[in-house]
C-alpha cells in the first residue's frame, strides 16, 4: 500500500460500524496467524476469513505488521485484565497461596487470550533484517508484565530476598509459564492450570533456598543489582 493511501485512511472520520469491522478483522487475523504464523498471514487471507474487503482492512491498519501488532495488543490487554489479581502486590495471602493463585490466574488468562503469547513468542524467536513492529510491541508489553511481577514479588518477599534474588525468581516464574504454555500448544490434553499451580511449590522452594543463602554475591560486594 502506498503512503498516500495510509494518510487518506488517517484523515477519514470513523464509520458507524468501524469498531465492529475492526474486531472482525482482528479475530480473523488472530485465527490465521495462530494457524500459519506471521509469514503465513496475508491481507488477502484476512479479507477472505473476515468477509470484509481489503480496502476495509487498510482503512483500519496501515499494513500486515500493524495488524498483527494490534492482535497482540488486544490479546495482551485481555490477558492483563485476568492477571490483575496477582500482579498487584498484596501480602494478605501466604507466599505459597499467593503463588498458587497467581499461576492459576496465569493459566486461565493464557487460555482465554492465547494470541498474546503464541504470536509474541513466534516473533520473539525470529531474527529478521528489519525488526517487525509487532515484535517490538510484544517485547515492550512483556517487559511491562515482568516489572509488575517484580513489584509483586518484592512485596511478597520483602526483607527476605534482595533485588537480584527477586529478579531471578520472577525470571524463573515467567520461564515456567512460557514453557508450560508451549507444552500445552503441543499437547492440548495438558492441564495448564494444574501444572502451573504445581509449579508454585517449585518457585517457593527456590525462594526459600535463596533466602537461606543470604544476600546475593553482587549485593554483598556493594555493586548495583
Q: CATH fold of 1-62, please?
A: Arc Repressor Mutant, subunit A (1.10.10)
Residue 17 has a pLDDT of 62
Which of 24-28, 150-154, 212-216 is modeled with the greatest confidence? 24-28
Residue spans per domain, the chain: 1-62, 71-221
Higher pLDDT, 16 or 81: 81
The CATH superfamily holding the domain 71-221 is Tetracycline Repressor, domain 2 (1.10.357.10)
- For helices 95-112 and 133-156, give the axis angle rounded to 10 degrees: 160
Over residues 102-113, the pLDDT tens digits come to 888 888 888 887
Cβ(192)–Cβ(181) below 8 Å: yes
10 Å CB burial of residue 2 (0-12, 13-18, 19+) is exposed
What is the full DSSP assignment across 94-155? -HHHHHHHHHHHHHHHHHHSTHHHHHHHHHHT---SS--HHHHHHHHHHHHHHHHHHHHHHH
Over residues 4-51, the pLDDT tens digits come to 444 444 444 545 468 899 999 999 999 998 888 888 899 999 999 999
Amino acid at each position: 500500500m502506498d503512503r498516500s493511501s495510509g494518510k487518506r485512511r488517517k484523515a477519514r472520520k470513523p464509520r458507524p460500524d468501524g469498531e465492529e469491522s475492526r474486531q472482525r478483522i482482528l479475530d480473523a487475523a488472530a485465527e490465521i496467524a495462530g494457524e500459519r504464523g506471521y509469514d503465513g498471514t496475508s491481507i488477502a487471507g484476512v479479507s477472505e476469513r473476515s468477509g470484509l474487503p481489503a480496502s476495509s482492512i487498510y482503512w483500519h491498519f496501515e499494513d500486515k505488521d500493524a495488524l498483527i501488532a494490534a492482535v497482540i495488543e488486544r490479546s495482551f490487554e485481555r490477558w492483563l485484565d485476568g492477571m490483575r489479581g496477582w500482579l498487584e502486590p498484596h501480602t494478605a495471602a501466604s507466599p505459597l497461596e499467593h503463588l498458587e493463585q497467581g499461576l492459576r490466574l496465569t493459566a486461565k488468562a493464557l487460555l482465554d487470550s492465547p494470541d498474546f503469547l503464541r504470536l509474541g513468542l513466534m516473533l520473539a524467536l525470529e531474527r529478521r533484517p528489519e525488526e517487525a513492529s509487532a515484535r517490538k510491541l510484544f517485547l515492550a508489553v512483556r517487559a511491562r508484565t515482568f516489572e509488575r511481577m517484580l513489584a509483586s514479588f518484592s512485596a511478597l518477599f520483602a526483607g527476605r530476598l534482595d533485588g537480584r534474588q527477586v529478579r531471578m525468581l520472577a525470571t524463573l516464574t515467567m520461564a515456567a509459564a512460557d514453557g508450560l504454555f508451549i507444552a500445552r500448544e503441543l499437547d492440548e490434553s495438558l492441564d495448564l492450570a494444574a501444572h502451573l499451580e504445581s509449579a508454585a511449590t517449585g518457585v517457593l522452594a527456590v525462594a526459600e533456598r535463596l533466602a537461606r543463602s543470604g544476600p546475593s554475591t553482587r549485593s554483598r560486594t556493594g555493586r548495583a543489582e
